[in-house]
Every structure is written in structure tokens, then in C-alpha cells.
Chain A
Amino acid sequence: MEPRRDPRGALVRPYAVTRGRTEPSRDIALEAVLSSTPTQVAESRFAGHDKYRIATVCEGRAQSLAEIAAYTRMPLGVTRVLVADLVAEGLLTLHTAAPAEGFEERMNLLGRVLSGLREL
């Protein structure tokens, strides 16, 4: 939870893998879940090493943006740019994060989370 510092410095400038882009093509929440099919993973091979790693992480088990960043050990911002690209390229499927607005939708979601917790 504390800032970390690698005295060796970064081997590669963090945003080099995104060709310097720091703004994702679409906003993706930390907890938004992504998944990939075997076909998408196979196709992502041609999209570059880092994107292929991301697609691989999401195969068979949906993962949140935060999980993808943790498993690939890439900074969150970099991961978000690459994930947004993959979604735009059809190589990753973006699922819905919790609906933030709308009383009925929100109540329904909270109710499901509540019973999910009680069943643990």
C-alpha cells in the first residue's frame, strides 16, 4: 500500500509499449471484467507481445482490469490503454461494471451482492 521504488529504474519506459499514448480509447473501470475466447487469444498473437499476454490472462476466466495489471505486472494506466485497444480490435470482450445510475438497476445489483455475501 506504500509507494514503491525500484532503485534500478525501469528497464523500459512504461508507456513505450503504448507508443507513448497515455489516454485509453475508451474508459474502463478498475473492476470492469474482460474475457477472451481461444480464437481471440490466437488472433492476439499478431497484435504484439503485451496484448497477447493480456488476452491469454483472460482466457477461460474473466478478469478485471485491476487483475490484468497485477498478473502482467504492468502499470494500471498502461494496461488500460492496451486493454481498450484490444476491445476496439475485437480481441477482448468487455463486460459491464456495476450500473452506477438508475434506482431499480442499482437496487437489484445491491440485492444480489448482499445475498451473495450472506451465502459465503
Chain B
Amino acid sequence: MDFANYDPAGARRSREIISAKIVVAGGFGVGKTTMVGAISEITPLTTEALMTAAGVGIDDPSKVPGKETTTVAMDFGRITMAQDLILYLFGTPGQTRFWFMWDEIIRGAVGAAVLVDTRRITDAFAPLDYFENRNLPYVVALNRFDDAPQYEPEEVREALAISPDVPLVMCDARQRESVKQVLVTVVEHAMLRLQADQGRGHQPAPVG
């Protein structure tokens, strides 16, 4: 028998892999996949979900001849942090009408980053409202586009009506260091929120 690969400790460790996820949201074309790709160890992958019963009534299939299902695609990336810890980054589908998919994406998530393009600031309203409603900790990240008007962060905060306790950071979704900083902010904010909830004697509400 060959025991060259025999590693009982390794086998035990491999039984307990924990995975966590952070959500990247924002309007179409705001740079969600770019952001995921800037830090992911794999080229962002796409997984597709078919809109079935959950979409009935939202999308009326009878209005689209020959089309019975809609496919919703979402992109995601992976960061293996340790042998037993993997962080996944999930981009939300661009169109907010696919709420059933959002519910699935945020369930159990650490928190979210809402990417904002200052040229299309209203695109951020839907994700902001959604995370607010679902009690998911989130931060707002202003993606710097070279040709976009430059606003002060506080102007954007006011325009988006973001409460003072929500972190707002500038970022460049193409730059790994910048994306890393956004994600660090998400996790720090999630920890603060969790501590605050605990301090008030609340059980941490399950997200989703």
C-alpha cells in the first residue's frame, strides 16, 4: 500500500472548511465584475439561475412568445484565505427585478459593498433600499471613473441619503489594493454592527 499521501491530520482539517461571502452590488456597468476580478484568485465565474415559479407575475412569459424561462446570470470570485477558510464575492444581477436571486445571494452574507458611479447615482437607490430593508451591513464605494464628475464624498452621501453611520469610501474597482480596502471596510463595519446589536441585547438578526 502506498501511504505517501496519507495525512490523517490533513484529512480531518479538510472536513471543516468554512466559507463566507461578501456581496458586491450596484447598477449595470458600474464595475461589479471588474471589482470582483481585481481581487479574486480565479477569473470571475458566472452561474446561471432559471427564473421559474419565483418570477411568475413579475415577468409574464405569455408576453414573450416561445420563451418559457429567463436566465439570470451572476458573477462571482473566490479568495482562499486558509486551508479551512474561503471567501466568496458575489456580484448581484444588474437588474433589480430579479429580487429572488438577491435574496439567495445575501442569505448569510458578511455584508455588502454598493458600488456607485457618480454619473448614474440613482442606480444605487434600489440596492441601498434593499440592503436597508434586509438589515444587511453595507458600505458605499464610489468607483472613480476618469471622465466622471468629481464630487466630495459628503455630497454623494447627501444625494443618496445615506445615514452617517454607513461608511463611504472612494475606490478604483480595477485596483486590487483599493478593492481590498473596500472589503476590509465592509467586514469592519459588519463587526461594529454586530457588536452594537449585541450591546443592545439584540440577538443578531439572521440576514435575509
Least Cβ–Cβ distance between A79 and chain B, in angstroms: 8
Is A22 in contact with B52, judged by CB distance below 8 angstroms?
yes
Q: Select from chain B the residue with minimum beta-carbon distance to A79.
A: B47
Q: Is B35 an interface residue (CB 8 A)?
A: no
Q: How far is the CA of A106 from the CA of B67 in the complex (A)?
A: 43
State whether A5 touches B19 (Cβ < 8 A). no
The answer to whether the Cβ of B87 comes within 8 Å of any Cβ in the partner chain is yes
Which residues of A have CB within 8 Å of B78?
A: 64, 67
Q: Beta-carbon contacts of A1-13 to B below 8 Å, as 1s and 0s?
A: 1111100010000
Within 8 A of B (CB), among A90-120: 93, 95-103, 106-107, 109-114, 116-120
Interface of A is mostly: mixed
How many inter-chain contacts with C-beta < 8 Å in the A-B complex? Answer: 161
Q: A106-B204, A110-B190 are in contact. Are A100 and B108 (CB under 8 A)?
A: yes
In this complex, what residue of B is CB-closest to A35?
Answer: B14
Question: Which of A30, A69, A114 gathers the greatest number of chain B CB atoms within 10 Å?
Answer: A30
Interface residues of A in 12-57 (CB under 8 A from B): 14, 22, 29-33, 35
Contact surface of A with B, Cβ cutoff 8 Å: 1-5, 9, 14, 22, 29-33, 35, 62, 64, 66-67, 69-71, 75-77, 93, 95-103, 106-107, 109-114, 116-120
